[in-house]
Amino acid sequence: MFGTIMQLKVGSMTIRLAPFTREEIGEFVKNGGMQSHIIIRYLGHHNAFVLDDELEWFDHTRKDKLKIVWGIWDYTDPDHPVLIGNTSLTDITQHPMCQAVSGSMIFRQEYWGKGIATAIHKARTRYGFLEMNLDRIKSAVTFPNTASRKALEHSGYNIHSIERNFEFTDGQLLHRYNLECINPASWSTWWHSDTPSQAAKNARPRVQEAIEWAKQNVTFV
């Protein structure tokens, strides 16, 4: 399924999280995109995606009720919006607690390093916690994808474990960081009689700041 439209500012850019059509899915492989090693090397893939792969993914996603996906659009010029990536909440479960797995990917390299990922994480976290009532959002980042890890940490995620030698890329074995973001409203229920880790305690105010930022800066369209 696709998520409802959200809009925010990142510097001078207007970024919109919105659905995209089957006809627009070709943008993911246009001019390299999901066929470029630098784009997919930390996504656990060793194959280049072609249009048929993206069409198959689109058809599956549209019907998957355990997944919510947004296209990431540069909407600075509303007459000529540019699709630059996608973000999602997947593997949504309701029992015994409400959880999901988050992910993001920007396939246009010229948009890297501009703070878009951090802003998107905050918008998605607000949506997951305040609209979907999730208790926890999980994510994972392959080392050394430091930029992605920092963007998640700035949005309130904290590393709770490391999977060593998770994949082989660029001629070396790489570890994977497993991160989580706990809904402040679910804090007591989530931890119950356990003592939260120091990392989780340190992340809690960042989660609250991310939600407050999104309340002030994200508009539902």
pLDDT tens-digit readout, 144-157 = 889 899 999 999 99
Asked if the structure places residue 116 within a domain, the reply is yes
Q: Which two tokens stand for residue 68?
A: 């919510």
- Find the domain containing 30 and state its range: 6-220
∠ CA(96), CA(148), CA(52), 5° rounding?
A: 80
Alpha-carbon distances, residue 20 vs 23, 46, 82 (angstroms): 8, 26, 11
Asked if the structure places residue 98 within a domain, the reply is yes
Locate the DSSP E strands across 75-152: 82-93, 99-106, 136-142
Asked if the structure places residue 148 within a domain, the reply is yes
Asked if the structure places residue 1 within a domain, the reply is no
Asked if the structure places residue 77 within a domain, the reply is yes
User: How far is it, in rounded angstroms, from Cα 151 to Cα 55?
Assistant: 29
User: How far is it, in rounded angstroms, from Cα 73 to Cα 20?
Assistant: 9
**Predicted structure pTM score:** 0.92
CB 83, CB 73: distance < 8 Å: yes
Q: How many domains is the chain built from?
A: 1
pLDDT digits (tens, 9 = 90+) for 97-113: 999 999 999 999 999 99
pLDDT digits (tens, 9 = 90+) for 159-194: 999 999 998 888 889 899 999 999 999 999 999 999
- Higher pLDDT among residues 42 and 35, named by residue: 35
Asked if the structure places residue 44 within a domain, the reply is yes
Asked if the structure places residue 94 within a domain, the reply is yes
Mean pLDDT of all residues belonging to the chain:
93
Asked if the structure places residue 161 within a domain, the reply is yes
User: How far is it, in rounded angstroms, from Cα 171 to Cα 188?
Assistant: 44
User: How far is it, in rounded angstroms, from Cα 184 to Cα 200?
Assistant: 11
The domain spanning residue 64 has which CATH number? 3.40.630.30
